Structure formats: structure tokens, C-alpha cells
Amino acid sequence: MWLTFLAVSPTVESIYKIGFVNYLVSNTRYRKIISTLGACGTVLGLWLVPLLGSRSSYLAVVLLCGTMASVAVQYVGFLSIYSDMSENYCGSLALATRAPAAAAAAAVPLVAGFVLRADQCDPLRWRVVFLTVAAAALAGQLLHLALARAQRQYWDNQDHRMKFTYYNDVNQMELDDLKVKIIPKKTEEKNEDDLLFI
């Protein structure tokens, strides 16, 4: 999963930097498209694994590895939204969303143990576990599609200082911070030397 994330993340950003994509879709929609592609692979993989049965154990392992790679593609889509929303507080945003995600991840083994009980070899019970995780992944993606925005938030720009960044060089979210306003001094003659830069 980590290797897939490292390979896909710069590729997705370089595709957006080509210049044609940002004319077709907004930054938010582009991120949502990428995360939806990853979520579709995740849900499809979790749906197909219990259908394979015990005879195709090697294929099931390959399919689970592909499912984890799809999770990495999904992460590429929505982890970049933090940096788009806030250059100053993207770490805090990531922490605020990772805490509920970690609680949900801790609940998965408890729910699986409750569903499986003592019979861990029953394929019908494993099907319930995989389909429950697939439904949770689908619900999370639908929530992401409904609520996620990649626009710079108003509360991020409180100090109004010039910011130079390497991340948002394509979507030009920092242009408002880099504009220089020229205000003439209140004098009788307006020369170029009398202009005050703010």
C-alpha cells in the first residue's frame, strides 16, 4: 500500500500539472475522481474475495493485495485535500480526521470477532465481515463526495503574510497572498517614488 501511494501520488499530481485537466475539472472534482476510483477498487475487491471460496486461496491473496493498492489510490485523492484547504493547519486537519478513522479501525477486529464467534472457518460469516467492511468503505466515500472541498479556507489566512509554497504551484491558490497592492501616499504630487507597497 505504501509503495503504491509513493508511486501514484506524484503521478496524479503530474497529470494535473500537464494543464489540460485543470481546464476540464476543478481541483476538488479531480481529487474526488481519484479517490472514487480507489474506493471502487476497494469495494469491488472486498466484494469479490468472499466469492472466491477456499479453493482459490492464492487468487484471494492477490485480490487482497490489489484491494490494499486501491486503498492507497483512494488516499491519494483525499489526503491532498488537507494541504489544499489549509497550508498552515493541514497537520491538524489530518489529525482531526485520523482520530475517528483510528477508532473505526480499532472496532473492525471487535466486530469481526463478534460475527465470527468460535467458527472462524465458516465462509458465510467471513462474507458478512468482508461485505460489512465494503459497506463502511462505500459509506465513507459517499460522505467524502458529499462534504469534501479543496478550496482554501478563510480561517487559514489569518496573518495575511506572504506565503511561498511548493505544493500549490499548479492550482495557484496562493495568488491572493502574492498580489501587491499599490497605494499612493497622500501628497500633492504623485511620483513613482511616493508609492507605498503593501
pLDDT digits (tens, 9 = 90+) for 125-175: 889 999 999 999 999 899 888 887 777 777 776 555 555 554 444 444 444
pLDDT digits (tens, 9 = 90+) for 42-101: 999 999 998 887 778 889 899 999 999 999 998 888 777 777 788 778 888 888 888 888
Dist CA 163 CA 175 (whole Å): 10
pTM for the whole thing? 0.70
pLDDT, residue 170, reads 47
Could you give the angle at the alpha carbon of 190 between the alpha carbons of 185 and 196, nearest 5°? Answer: 35
Secondary structure string (H, E, C) spanning 27-38 = HHHHHHHHHHHH
Residues paired with 184 in a beta bridge: 195
Query: What average pLDDT does range 100-127 have in this prediction?
Result: 86
Residue 125: CB partners within 8 Å, gap ≥ 6?
Answer: 115, 116, 117, 119
DSSP state of 153: P
